[in-house]
Structure 1
């Protein structure tokens, strides 16, 4: 025989030839050498028992000391120790050795959850259990503050979702959340190749600002509302451009945006969208057409420049004629004009060399008093 000591807060199971014999409590015990003793700590999981658990539970004294949790298919059990979460138990039979309440050891509580249902009961504190350890069992969707969501359960519309975080159990039921940005958005319709009424090809870029007003219409009643809105704007652009010649379009390009917005309002309302405003970003002509337009513009500007030059020349000639008439009638004005030109010429002369042969004084006298002699 041999002696086995079972410490406090421990329990022992005696087996002989693979069969259960008895349970040992705290203290010293004599056992036969052919017997095997397995010692376990109270409050811990019964791991790898040497005997089938179902058969072991048929013994009343063992069953009384075990806390058995059975978790079915599509279930989980949340284990708490003195109110604090410990672990997640999945399907199967889990056995824990009971602790004496006066010992102050582990005391377990369990909350079972049915994963076949979508809604998570309020008794489960998701704030402390997410993202770990429940992330493997919970699907999470977040709707941002500037968004609204639409919930589809089993491919059927269920309800609208306001901003927040939502949790559902993971199971075979399909759950989908579609979200839309409720802020003002801008759509670019770029590089549209369009023919005008006179068959001129041009490339046009347009933008429009909008926001989603009716979530149900946008996400439930329609598929790809933004693509449908894009096509509506394209058609409105082609309708307006195709009804005008190139010259008319360039003259009336300011009317293009209001026309497109008004023509698209009805379709946008069906899509749950409210249009704000729009505008033309670019009108690009092909290379050969652009060269022709530049030549026309240059010819127009040259013609305008010629007209201005002719007008200025006419005004200058008329001014010279009036000046000549005044000088013809007034000898003093003539003399002042001569002196003005002499002054202008002298400004350009740096030095003057005079050679006097005795007759220069007489010549100057004749030059400056010639007018006086005429008056007498």
Structure 2
């Protein structure tokens, strides 16, 4: 006789000549070795599995079905396995069975043909699920464009989004930056109407307002760049160099107006545009410097002649006044005499009379000599 003891945390499976008969509750069981009976003891704390036997063999036992939960997972789904309310595993395609004796097993099916995790699941997001998910984050200054198998689905607001891995649907999230951006056009060689080649540095700022439209354009930044380049070439090619340098500040306003005409096509709003630098060839720069220097010299000569004319006119007026007024003439003499005295270290006078009389005689003699 063979004795088999089935404990409280165990169950026995009775087989007769390899065929399953029934489940055995906790207790002691005896059978003769020649009877062809075999008892397999399983722990109810572990998953239900019998080596070499398919689960389908045990599904027909109604008594066993009261204590075992059978679950089948299809190719297009995951099953979330909970023990006593806690997520313990994610079941992929296959068949599984668990003892509902010491613990309560509960299962939630998820169709991965809908790749985005349900909102209630994504809100808590257990760590056990992270290896089964792909995470996309959209920052506060961005918008995400959600695509399934290359087909646009919807626009994603800022936040974090979870999608199932290895599902039948490919998930792509293309992120678009909504902040103001800058496009620099540097060192562009352009020819003016008078056949002078110059280099232009230009800058414009823009902001994406229609992310869906922007993503539909292949090589978005390159196309905006080429559009800006063509507008500038058109403008510069219709103006002579002198006119271009004179209205340099107006180029930005013209280009901005033309760019905003293309805004619906690009899905952007152009905020500003302007010329940073106009770089001339060396020979042209030397010629312009020469012209500028000549203009400044001419202006200086004109100013000098104007001042000389004014000075001569002033002297003429002064002479007329002194000729008509003897007192004024005398005061002018004394003024010059004062200037002479300031520059002379000492004056020696000879003869009689006081100093004032000698000076008067000296000035009088000079005046007589001038009249003669």
Normalised-by-shorter TM-score class? 0.7 to 0.9
| Aligned residue number for residue 294 of structure 2 | 299
1:84 offset after TM fit, Å? Answer: 2.6
Instruction: Give me the whole-angstrom Cα distance separating, in 2, the residues matched to 1:111 and 1:312.
Output: 102
| Aligned residue number for residue 118 of structure 1 | 115
| Aligned residue number for residue 9 of structure 1 | 9
TM-score (norm 1): 0.77
| Aligned residue number for residue 269 of structure 1 | 264
Q: Please state if 1:86 is matched with 2:82.
A: no
Q: Please state if 1:97 is matched with 2:102.
A: no
Instruction: Give me the whole-angstrom Cα distance separating, in 2, the residues matched to 1:337 and 1:315.
Output: 20
Q: Please state if 1:288 is matched with 2:283.
A: yes
Structure 2 unaligned blocks of 5 or more: none
1:313 offset after TM fit, Å? Answer: 2.0
Moved more, 284-293 or 189-198: 284-293
Aligned length: 363
CA contact under 8 A between 1:18 and 1:51: conserved in structure 2?
A: no
C-alpha spacing 1:339/1:54, structure 2 compared with 1 (3 Å)? same
| Aligned residue number for residue 72 of structure 2 | 70
TM-score (norm 2): 0.78
CA contact under 8 A between 1:331 and 1:371: conserved in structure 2?
A: no
Instruction: Give me the whole-angstrom Cα distance separating, in 1, the residues matched to 2:322 and 2:135.
Output: 102
CA contact under 8 A between 2:138 and 2:159: conserved in structure 1?
A: yes
1:161 offset after TM fit, Å? Answer: 4.0
| Aligned residue number for residue 46 of structure 2 | 44
Of 207, 210, 224, which residue of structure 2 is paired with 1:211?
Answer: 207
1:196 offset after TM fit, Å? Answer: 0.6
The 3-state SS of whatever aligns with 1:95 is: strand
Instruction: Give me the whole-angstrom Cα distance separating, in 2, the residues matched to 1:204 and 1:7.
Output: 90
CA contact under 8 A between 1:56 and 1:62: conserved in structure 2?
A: no
Instruction: Give me the whole-angstrom Cα distance separating, in 2, the residues matched to 1:343 and 1:31.
Output: 154
| Aligned residue number for residue 246 of structure 1 | 241
| Aligned residue number for residue 191 of structure 1 | 187
1:266 offset after TM fit, Å? Answer: 3.6
The 3-state SS of whatever aligns with 1:133 is: helix
1:118 offset after TM fit, Å? Answer: 3.4
Q: Please state if 1:180 is matched with 2:188.
A: no
| Aligned residue number for residue 106 of structure 1 | 103
Instruction: Give me the whole-angstrom Cα distance separating, in 1, the residues matched to 2:207 and 2:56.
Output: 68
What's the CA shift string for 1:328-352, capped at 9, x where partnerless? 4444333333433443454566x64
The 3-state SS of whatever aligns with 2:262 is: helix
